[in-house]
Chain A
Amino acid sequence: MATSMTAPRPNTRLYDFYREMRRVRTFEERVGELFVRGQSAGSMLHLSIGEESAAVGVGAAMQAGDTFTTHHRGHGIFLARGAEPDRMMAEIAGKESGYCGGKGGSMHIADMSLGHLGANAIVGGGIPAVVGAGLSARNLGTGTVSVAFFGDGATGQGILYESLNMAALWQLPCLFVCINNQYGMGTRIDRATANPNLHERAAAFGLSARTVDGLSVEDVADAAEEMIADARAGRPGFLAIDCYRFFGHARKDKSPYRADGEEAAGRQKDPVSAARTKLIVSGLASVEALDALDKEIDAEMDGAIDFAVAGTEPPMAAMFRDVYAPGEPEPEPVSARLSRVLARD
């Protein structure tokens, strides 16, 4: 990125948080352009706009070597943990230059070098993996923490409670982060549970548990830093982050199930603009400096779209690869099998 010549770059934590949240938001806003540009792959797109403080606040509290899994709405988390927007966008578009060679896409993106053990399209499906990662950390003495990111929808899945119980029982270095955007697809949390105080459930298993308001990324980061330090010391935790999903469940969902005015009110809970306002009001950054930063980020994400569009689909030969380990025979294609068995000597 080019350095702005017009304004000094503030050197504060909140500025860094703002920058990362703004990157997440812009990335998510750009994702839809893949369709506009004729890139039809990635029909399953779930945007995290409105939830940036969870990704950035917790992501900033994690350390190199720490691992994590995410739900299907995890673009922001991966970006906050160091993902390259180019390769992310390419993966979402199903291109060979993507993180998973175009086979995973938005809901199955992963990168072992950054500790991303995988996004998941099964609600709650990625949660128990952090228990296993916690066992590895304990037995191998790595000192790492593993963080499960999931939505409020996952609180309806039994696997969450099995995982919470094991983590607490074995005092594993795990943190469970529930990004409560108030909706499991089209069902608001108060239509899905009689007790929406989600952290109380984790407390019942013996984890340290709390809820923070996602409007303030600093509050999220403070809570996450403390809880990750605790987890590293063998005191696993559960952090619920209250936020609001600005848009529908997925690309084509216009949220008809939301009452008039609800979205407008919900979008007032905007961690990105809250951080921006605070930076300006407190004199930590000038409007000009932030505008310049925003432009840089716009250019970065435009570049990611260009990179994705320019990419090629994986070759057909990749289709049968990686079902099993390298060196193992690949599954025989149907057409090849039929040609073989129908050949008459």
Chain B
Amino acid sequence: MATIETTYRDALRLALTEAMREDDSVILIGEEVGVYGGAYGVTKAMIEEFGAHRVIDTPISEPAIVGAAVGAAMTGLRPVAELMYVDFVGMTMDQLANQAAKIRYMFGGQIGVPMVLRTQGGTGRSAGAQHSQSLEGYVMHTPGLRLAMPATVADAYHLLRQAMRQPDPVVFIEHKGLYTMKGEVDPDAPPAEWGRAAVLREGADLVIVSYSRQVHYALAAAERLASEGVEAAVVDLRTLNPLDFDTIRPMVEAAGRAMVVSEGVMTSGVAAELAARITEECFDFLEDPVLRVAGEDIPISVSPLLETNSVPTPDLIVDTVRKIGLGAAA
């Protein structure tokens, strides 16, 4: 297969479909993954090819969906469980954090839990406070869980394929605002290494570290900043666990300035962790405090105006850079 143009959604489906064709032990399990085809259409028609024993529609029982995936993963299957919204992760937290994440360690390395929990989060559909959150911080806070958050069509395919080959549980958080995004992917091309960040734009003045949809906002902001004479690099982390600090460190040391951009809320969030690490590891090179641009510490509103401004926007990123004396205001 050569390079194809497709959508984030279809790239995800391609990854799942190819994995299921290659390996009979791969199953999908979750609410509406089968007959309905997934709440966002990712698994559309897959039940027709693979049957109801491999594309398993469940009752609305998130804890047991994850718990069953844990048990299946321990006994020979490769489950890809789906949590329709990441907002429901609290329902599953025992199975995820106390079971999946700890089984290898508690049992002295006897066995792992090779499962993927696919879910999606983020704002953009006026879905309200319980269907719009970015809860990756909960996952990143739990040792034992891998965490992947694709920003591009190519990563929707390749990161998901890689996630399904991991020996440890992976939480794979898609962004609901990206499903219809178009892009290119070559399924046969060797993918970027799992756990390695991607430098999507070089820039000598500032390094913007982000992931998921905010990568696109950071790129848009960097374009505008360039017109103001500021060269901002943009790094897409791709996975938050593993976290690729080796890519970030020399870039920040060279630029002397760093910004982290995350849709998750500010306090005790992913952005806080990234900012702390950059500060610790690059302290001697920093000319300004690490800029933390993150979700406001509030619930998400249905009002599109309030919703849009509850999380970072390209405007906010640009304005923040100006506040340290770079760009138009300088």
Contact = CB atoms under 8 A, between A and B. Distances in A.
Interface of A: 67, 69, 98-104, 108, 110-112, 117-118, 120-122, 125-140, 142, 146, 158-159, 162-163, 165-166, 169-170, 321-326, 328-329, 331, 341, 344
B73 A132 contact: yes
Contacts of A325: 104, 112, 166-168
A100 B102 CA distance: 12
Interface in B55-78: 56, 58-59, 61, 63-64, 66-77
Given A128-B70, A159-B67, A325-B167, A104 B98 contact: no
B99 interface: yes
B154 to A, nearest CB: 24
Nearest to A322: B109
Interface string B32-70: 000000000000000000000110101101011011111
A135 B72 contact: yes
A139 B27 contact: yes
Contacts of B25: 139-140
Nearest to A163: B64
A344 B280 contact: no
A128 B63 contact: yes
A129 B242 contact: no
B133 interface: no
Given A159-B63, A162-B64, 20 more contacts: A67-B75, A100-B107, A110-B103, A110-B107, A110-B111, A112-B74, A125-B99, A129-B71, A131-B64, A131-B71, A132-B71, A132-B72, A136-B76, A140-B76, A140-B77, A158-B63, A163-B67, A166-B64, A166-B68, A324-B167
B75 A136 contact: yes
Given A323-B105, A324-B104, A137 B94 contact: no
A344 B284 contact: yes
Given A125-B98, A128-B95, A137 B107 contact: no
B169 to A, nearest CB: 10
B110 interface: yes
B330 interface: no
A292 B321 CA distance: 83
A326 B109 contact: yes
B325 interface: no
Contacts of A103: 105-108
Contacts of B63: 128, 158-159, 162
A162 B61 contact: yes
**Is the contact region of chain A dominated by helix, strand, or loop, or is it mixed?**
mixed
Contacts of A142: 76
Contacts of B54: 139
A128 B71 contact: yes
Nearest to A69: B71
A100 B108 contact: yes
Interface string B77-101: 1010000000000000011001100
Contact of A162 (B27, B59, B77): B59
Contacts of A165: 59, 61, 64
A163 B59 CA distance: 10
A100 B110 CA distance: 8
A101 B104 CA distance: 12
A132 B79 CA distance: 9
A118 B106 contact: yes
A159 B99 CA distance: 13
Which of A69, A118, A146 is most buried by chain B, counting CB atoms within 10 A of its CB? A118
Which of A98, A102, A126 is most buried by chain B, counting CB atoms within 10 A of its CB? A126
Interface in B113-171: 143-144, 146, 166-168
B108 A132 contact: no
B68 A341 contact: no
B281 interface: yes
Contact of A104 (B71, B72, B76, B106): B106
A254 B280 CA distance: 50
9 contacts: A100-B108, A112-B74, A118-B103, A122-B94, A122-B99, A135-B79, A139-B54, A159-B95, A344-B284
A341 B107 contact: no
Which of A69, A135, A328 is most buried by chain B, counting CB atoms within 10 A of its CB? A135
A101 B71 contact: no
Contacts of A110: 103, 106-107, 110-111
A67 to B, nearest CB: 6
A338 to B, nearest CB: 8
Given A140-B25, A323-B144, A100 B106 contact: yes
Nearest to A338: B280
Nearest to B143: A323
Nearest to A344: B284
A162 B112 CA distance: 24
A264 B58 CA distance: 47
Nearest to A100: B108
A326 B99 CA distance: 19
